[in-house]
Amino acid sequence: MKGFDPATSFGREAAATYDDYPRGDEAETVDFLAEIAGAGPALEFAIGTGRIALPLAARGVRVEGIELSEDMIERLRAKPGGDAIDVTAGDMSTIELPGHYPVVYLVFNTIFNLLTQDDQVRCFENAARHLTDDGAFVIEAGVPEAWTTPPHYVRPEIVGKDSVTLDVCSYDRSTQIFEENHVELSAAGIRLGPIVCRLCSPGELDLMARIAGLRLADRWGGWQGEPFTATSERHISVYRRRASDES
């Protein structure tokens, strides 16, 4: 997408409206992560505005985060309890923190925000560096086929009385790059929300994990332990260190 910069895509406007559209699965996400984290600490890659970190911290888990967008960090810190969460500004694929964590997690398809395979592998390697010996790296990501059939489309996303939001998408199979723009039409005018992702299959993520010295331990179709099947549109994958006798 010409002119798109991943480093600025979640700027002030995006941060201001990010919490206006909750997923609806925040409670079950927190339940899942709290069970793995125990007392913590937990490390969230791309912590954003604290959609998951804040309720997880409210459960008694100490949460830390890495976030590229200063505007998202500012939004997080303005929320009740936000100033108690230690957030480091920077790239989740390269920033190294001094601690080790029983769980590192990356939710809401954010692994796809890294636009090259090398950067996605580096993200796995960075997660592995931060894990305790028995720790888990948890990823939530969509199944590409659920996004790319057909490869180019315009769909109504939100239909309201005073506004309509269209989802305009194009996918390049040769590069695995998915370009998307959320186009809001209203009496106030037109507002654009562009995003570019590099989609990858669960199997490709598993290979990235192996490069980083991790292995797939569990995979679910949802946060409540739903089976992952041929019709699943997303997956929750849990990676752990390979046993010493594995190659």
Asked if residue 3 has pLDDT above 80, the reply is no
pLDDT, tens digit, 9 for 90 and up, residues 92-123: 999 999 999 999 999 999 999 999 999 999 99
Asked if residue 247 has pLDDT above 60, the reply is no
The per-residue pLDDT for 245 is 39
**Quick one: 157 and 51 in the same domain?**
no
Computed over every residue of the chain, the mean pLDDT equals 92
Mean pLDDT of 183-193: 91
The per-residue pLDDT for 107 is 97
Q: In Å, what is the CA distance from 52 to each residue of 59, 85, 92, 220?
A: 11, 12, 17, 19
Strands 152-159 and 163-172: antiparallel
pLDDT > 70: percent of the chain: 94
The per-residue pLDDT for 16 is 65
For the chain, what is the domain count? 2
**Quick one: 172 and 232 in the same domain?**
no
**Quick one: 52 and 120 in the same domain?**
yes
**Of residues 205 and 4, more confidently modeled:** 205
Q: The CATH number of the domain where 55 resides is what?
A: 3.40.50.150
Residue 247 within a domain? no
Do 198 and 120 touch, CB atoms closer than 8 A?
yes
Task: Dig out the tokens for 147 from the structure.
Answer: 């996004």
Mean pLDDT of 183-212: 94
Q: Which ranges of the chain does DSSP label H, i.e. alpha helix?
A: 12-17, 26-37, 53-58, 70-77, 117-130, 144-147, 202-211
pLDDT, tens digit, 9 for 90 and up, residues 29-55: 999 999 999 988 999 999 999 999 999
Residue 175 within a domain? yes
pTM of the model: 0.91
Q: Which residue has the tokens 């332990």?
A: 225
Range of the domain at 79: 6-143+200-241
Mean pLDDT of 122-133: 97
